Amino acid sequence: MKLVTKNLTFKPEDEYYLNDVSLEFEAGRLYTILGRTLSGKTSFLKTIAGLQPVDEGEITLGEKDFRSIPVWERNVAMVYQQFINYPHLNVYENIAFPLKQRKMSAADIKQEVAVAISQVGLEGFEARKIQELSGGQQQRVALARSLAKKAKILLLDEPLVNLDYKLREDLRDVFKNLFDSDLSTESILIYASTDPQEAMQLNGDIVVIDEGRVLQTGPAKEVFENPANIKVAEITNDPAMNILPGIIDDKEIIFNEDFKLNLPSHLSHLDSGKYFFGVRATDLKLDNSGFNFTVDISEISGSETFLHMHQDELKVVLMIEEVRNFNLDDQVKISMDMNRLYVFDANGDLIFSPYRGN
Amino acid sequence: MKTLYTTLKYSAVTLWSMFVIAPFLWAISTSFKDFNSVTSGVSYIPWLQFEPSFEGWKVLTKPASEGGINIVEPYFNSIFVTLISSLISIILGTLAAYALSRFTFKAGFVKNSDITFFFISQRIMPPIVLSIPFFLMLGYLSLLDTLMGLVMVYIVLLMPIAVWIMVDFFNKVPREIDETALIDGCNPYQAFYKVVLPNSIPGLIVAGMFCIIFGWIDFFFAFILTFTEVQLLPVAIVALNSSITPWWSLSAAALVSVAPLIVVAFIVERYLSKGNLSGAIK
């Protein structure tokens, strides 16, 4: 069974929520919608669920015209970024709610709820009130309710983003187990995320979306290795891929007067002219024989240090895999790994990737 | 240090309680006095300081033919009018408030917030502005001096309170809860009464309490819209007054008219402490 969207467009005011979105989803696969905040991820999921109208476009599930079916008859499940449960019901009643709504028999409900509870690891919490649970447990309840429904389409809207680090790791394992289990052979799983690392870990198909428009689709590895354009390169990397405008001119790459590099042989086929060069934060190194940059800010995140710096107009972020302190306006020298350089043309489209060549 | 704090805390609470209870004690002791006991100087304790009399209470139940002012009928009239108009106001007001909170209305430049303000603005006007229109309208409908007419007028006065409180309350109930209910197979009506309403009980109780209080204490409309057939409690109590102020029967009437509100306050207090929405969204 296939879920197909055709030319979905929604522009309630001046901005596009969805802009000509045409996608295909197959049962048994995991799709990650990757985009920044307000890029249209939630809009798209809500449109699939039927909670948001569209100006034009079609949605079909198998042979059915999905747009003509009201939300409450669509049999989709959705887990929100906020922990949404029914506060007046306890854990068991929360999970049983959609099943009761379907007029399932009491015995069947009991069995389905028990299965869902064990899938998310909430045994023993059946009689608890929602208010007595931690954020992670509340999100597990929401997930269990979605699983118990055995919906054909499971929509997950940044379900981990409001959890702290440890809980996120735990719950991500729960997701992974679920995605590998039977569930995934019958259902279409759509997972929205802003976090490229999460998208890569889930390792399904990625849909990169920005300003309501689909920029690129493909397996996670392919999108990561060969981002179709600058926007995708920025969205699929955290920190965003450094994009440096420069000129190729007779054996040299010129970023500015003080920052010139010899044109490596594998790029020698490129014509002279303006390009954009992309390099990941991990592919920049502190190097005493490198070029001068001035430190703007250094962030320590776990065991890594992100160093934001500039040279004239050029701004780059460099990642060091250790904790080091820098001060504002420190002078550092950096070099870049030329074999890891991406080249985009003047329009921002990829013309050379270190993984694929041109 | 902790004992000092506790002592101070309880002293303050005790002082405040005395301040609140004193008028009640005063009214209770006055209601058992007669003319002589009231005028013969300060006294508090029956039998010891004055001979208790039940005249103040008896007057309230005696028919006018026997020299009494019967407030039993006005009392039940007031309960009927207040409860029915509060109930209808809460039902209509809650539905209106849910619509104003969840759906977008547009008529020219008029938006949801304008409609909400339109409801509240009914209460901004001084009541006297409304008196002539109400009088004429009830007159045309032959509803002057009837319970039905009073119920209608009170709905107009109370519904804005219900709308106002409930719009605010529904705005705090996350929209995602409604959406989740829809996704879980509820149609919009089921989402409202199976999910949103059960989580709005504190709001409903507050709105109900305000409606009951404002309905119960209204004197102005009860006075101008009734003549001889129907009387409400506040008007009846005023009618108790005569050239020699009957402090004893006024005190007794004041006590019985406050009683229902005290009962309401106790019920409301129990429900309000069970705040039910904290786990809805984090």
CB contact under 8 A, A131 and B183: no
Give me A26's structure tokens: 């197959």
The whole-number average pLDDT for the span A194-199 is 90
pLDDT of residue A182: 65
Cβ-contact B199, B173 below 8 angstroms: yes
Q: Which residue has the tokens 């522009």?
A: A11
A75 contacts on B by Cβ (under 8 Å): 185
Complex ipTM: 0.84
pLDDT of residue B273: 64
CB contact under 8 A, A87 and B182: no
3-state class (DSSP) for residue A100: helix
State what percent of residues in chain A have pLDDT above 90: 51
Query: Which domains, and CATH codes, for chain A?
Result: 2-235 (3.40.50.300), 242-352 (2.40.50.140)
**Of A146-150, A205-209, B119-123, B249-253, which has the strongest mean pLDDT?**
A205-209
Does residue A157 have a pLDDT over 60?
Answer: yes
Among A88, A102, A138, select the one facing B199 at the smallest CB separation.
A88
Does residue A19 have a pLDDT over 80?
Answer: yes
Q: How far apart are CA B126 and CA B129, in angstroms?
A: 6
Give me B49's structure tokens: 């300081």
Per-residue pLDDT reduced to its tens digit, A239-257: 889 999 988 887 888 888 8
Chain B contact present for A35, CB below 8 A: no
Give me B225's structure tokens: 């819209």
**Please, what is the angle between helix A91-101 and helix A106-120, to 10°?**
130
CB contact under 8 A, A84 and B281: yes
Q: Of A180-189, A304-313, B92-101, B220-229, which gets the smallest average pLDDT?
A: A180-189
The whole-number average pLDDT for the span A249-274 is 85
Nearest to B232 by CA among B165, B132, B150: B150
Per-residue pLDDT reduced to its tens digit, B113-172: 899 998 888 888 888 888 999 999 999 999 999 999 999 999 999 999 999 999 989 998
Does residue B93 have a pLDDT over 90?
Answer: yes
> Taking CA atoms, what residue in A is nearest to B179?
A51
Q: From its phi and psi, is residue A44 left (phi > 0), alpha (psi between -120 and 50) or beta?
A: alpha
Among B182, B198, B280, select the one facing A72 at the smallest CB separation.
B182
Q: Of A233-247, A271-285, B48-62, which gets the smallest average pLDDT?
A: B48-62
pLDDT of residue A358: 60
The whole-number average pLDDT for the span A11-18 is 90
> Taking CA atoms, what residue in A is nearest to B184?
A98
Cβ-contact B32, B52 below 8 angstroms: yes
pLDDT of residue B281: 36
Does residue A230 have a pLDDT over 90?
Answer: yes
When pLDDT is cut at 50, 70 and 90, the band that residue B37 belongs to is confident
B179 contacts on A by Cβ (under 8 Å): 46, 49, 51, 71, 78, 84
pTM: 0.82
pLDDT of residue B274: 58
Does residue A48 have a pLDDT over 60?
Answer: yes
The whole-number average pLDDT for the span A250-265 is 85
Mean pLDDT of chain B: 88
The whole-number average pLDDT for the span A185-208 is 89
DSSP bridge partners of A311: A314
pLDDT of residue A180: 77
Distance from CA of B262 to the nearest CA of A (A): 28
Q: Report CA A247 to chain centroid distance, whole Å.
A: 32
3-state class (DSSP) for residue A82: coil
Superfamily of structural domain B72-272: MetI-like (1.10.3720.10)
Does residue A293 have a pLDDT over 70?
Answer: yes
**Of A287-301, B26-40, B170-184, which has the strongest mean pLDDT?**
B170-184
Give me B194's structure tokens: 């199976």
For the beta carbon of residue A332, count every other beta carbon within 10 angstroms. 18
When pLDDT is cut at 50, 70 and 90, the band that residue B276 belongs to is very low
The whole-number average pLDDT for the span A132-156 is 91
A76 contacts on B by Cβ (under 8 Å): 183
Q: Of A222-231, A256-265, B159-168, which gets the smallest average pLDDT?
A: A256-265
Best probe of the A interface among B172, B182, B184, B204, by most A CBs < 10 A, is B184
pLDDT of residue B239: 84
Q: Are strands A205-210 and A242-248 parallel, antiparallel or unpaired?
A: unpaired
pLDDT of residue B280: 37
Q: How far apart are CA B253 and CA B185, in angstroms?
A: 54
Among A50, A88, A101, select the one facing B186 at the smallest CB separation.
A101
Domain residue ranges in chain B: 2-53, 72-272
B278 contacts on A by Cβ (under 8 Å): 87, 131
Among B179, B184, B276, select the one facing A51 at the smallest CB separation.
B179
Q: Of A38-52, A195-209, B30-44, which gets the smallest average pLDDT?
A: B30-44
Does residue A107 have a pLDDT over 90?
Answer: yes
Does residue B275 have a pLDDT over 70?
Answer: no
Among B184, B185, B277, select the one facing A87 at the smallest CB separation.
B277
The whole-number average pLDDT for the span A175-203 is 83
Give the type of residue at A345: D
CB contact under 8 A, A49 and B177: no
Does residue B231 have a pLDDT over 50?
Answer: yes
CB contact under 8 A, A87 and B276: yes
Q: Of A173-187, B16-30, B120-134, which gets the smallest average pLDDT?
A: A173-187
CB contact under 8 A, A85 and B198: no
Does residue A221 have a pLDDT over 80?
Answer: yes
pLDDT of residue B279: 37
The whole-number average pLDDT for the span B202-228 is 91
Chain B contact present for A72, CB below 8 A: yes
When pLDDT is cut at 50, 70 and 90, the band that residue B278 belongs to is very low
Among A74, A138, A149, select the one facing B279 at the smallest CB separation.
A138
CB contact under 8 A, A101 and B185: yes
Does residue B282 have a pLDDT over 60?
Answer: no
Among A71, A85, A132, select the one facing B182 at the smallest CB separation.
A71
